[in-house]
Each structure stands twice: as C-alpha cells, then as structure tokens.
Amino acid sequence: MKEPLALSTLPFACLQCGTCCTAPDIASLDKPLGVRCMHLDQQGLCAIYSERPAVCRGYRPDEICRLVAAPTLAERVAKYLRLFDL
Ligand code: SF4
C-alpha cells in the first residue's frame, strides 16, 4: 500500500499574503521583526523580485502559510510570531 504524502511534500502556491515578507527579521535587508519589507507591493508581490536577496530566493511556501491564514496582514503576522515564539 502506498504511503500518504506528508503535507510538506505537496506543491504549495504562494498566497501573496505578505506574511513571510513582514513577520521575520531579514538581516540582509536590515528589516526588523514584524515590519513590512519596503519592497513588498500592495498586491503582495516583491517589487525587486529578480534582484531579491538569497534568503528570499531560498524561501518556499509551505503549510505555515495555511497555519497563519487570517483576514488581515496584522493578524497573520501576529499568528506567525506566536507560532515561532518570537
Ligand atoms: S525583498 Fe521581496 S521577497 Fe524579500 S522580503 Fe522583501 S518583498 Fe519579500
């Protein structure tokens, strides 16, 4: 019998929710924890996508995106920070 796939192995499309560009601190951008990245546009897209730093290039959406889902960016960021005890 075939093993069921773990959630993290399933393809997961970016929800353009802005959480991963706001909640974590990003040293290479001098971006503090919980502060919206200056390059995140109003559509939830990266305005410097082709030139974004390596840490952003390496990021892949995963089940965390679903776990922090909420109606507003502020709520999603708060959930993310709680989830990681930040
Ligand atoms: S540089 Fe782009 S991908 Fe990286 S945090 Fe800012 S908006 Fe997000």
40 C-alpha to ligand 1 centroid (Å): 6
pLDDT tens digits along 13-57: 899 999 999 999 999 999 999 999 999 999 989 999 999 999 999
Q: Taking a C-beta distance cutoff of 8 angstroms, is the pair 14, 62 a contact?
A: no
Q: Taking a C-beta distance cutoff of 8 angstroms, is the pair 76, 18 a contact?
A: yes
Task: Give the other-Cβ count within 10 Å of 73's Cβ.
Answer: 17
pLDDT at 83 over 90: yes
CA gap 85, 67 in Å, rounded:
14
Residue type at 63?
E
pLDDT tens digits along 52-73: 999 999 999 999 999 999 999 9
Domain regions of the chain by residue span: 22-83
Region 5-18: what's the mean pLDDT?
73
- Residues at CB less than 6 angstroms from ligand 1: 21, 26, 29, 37, 39-40, 46, 48, 52, 56
79 C-alpha to ligand 1 centroid (Å): 19
| Residue 51 backbone dihedrals phi, psi, to 5 degrees | -120, 10
